Amino acid sequence: MTAEFAVALPAIALVLAACLASVQLVAEHVRLTDAAADAARALGRGESTAEADAIADRVSGGASLAVVEDGLFVCATLRAPGQGLLAAIELQAESCAVAGGH
């Protein structure tokens, strides 16, 4: 093993760890987006906020739900912290549905 390889190895490991953490963060965001869509559809069907929160919690694994009703539409916004190396990044996903199932 050469000295150059010994110096480069920690940098390569750091880049690899950052790449894997980024993939994990993207997967978490996709899950959060799916959960927001499910919660918005539930609210649009007329289910309660507690039921929509339970649906979002089951799909996302513990994200916080905020609901905004805007006349014709109802929107669900989910927020959750990232995990692993990128835990400082807060993820957010929003989805809207027609209120009342019209």
Q: Domain map of the chain by residue range?
A: 3-101
Residue ranges of the chain with pLDDT lower than 50?
none
Give me the pLDDT at residue 102, please.
53
**Closest by CA position to 77, among listed 90, 61, 59, 64:** 64
Instruction: Report the pLDDT value the prediction gives residue 84, as an integer from 0 to 100.
Output: 79
Return the structure tokens found at 31. 């899950």
Angle ∠(34,89,44) on CA atoms, nearest 5: 25
Q: Give pLDDT tens digits for 32-41.
A: 999 999 999 9
Task: Supply the DSSP symbol for 89.
Answer: S
Q: How confident is the model at residue 52, as a pLDDT? A: 94
Query: What pLDDT does residue 87 have?
Result: 84
Architecture of the domain delimited by 3-101? 2-Layer Sandwich (3.30)
Residues in the chain: 102
pLDDT of residue 100: 79
Beta partners for residue 68, in sequence order:
75
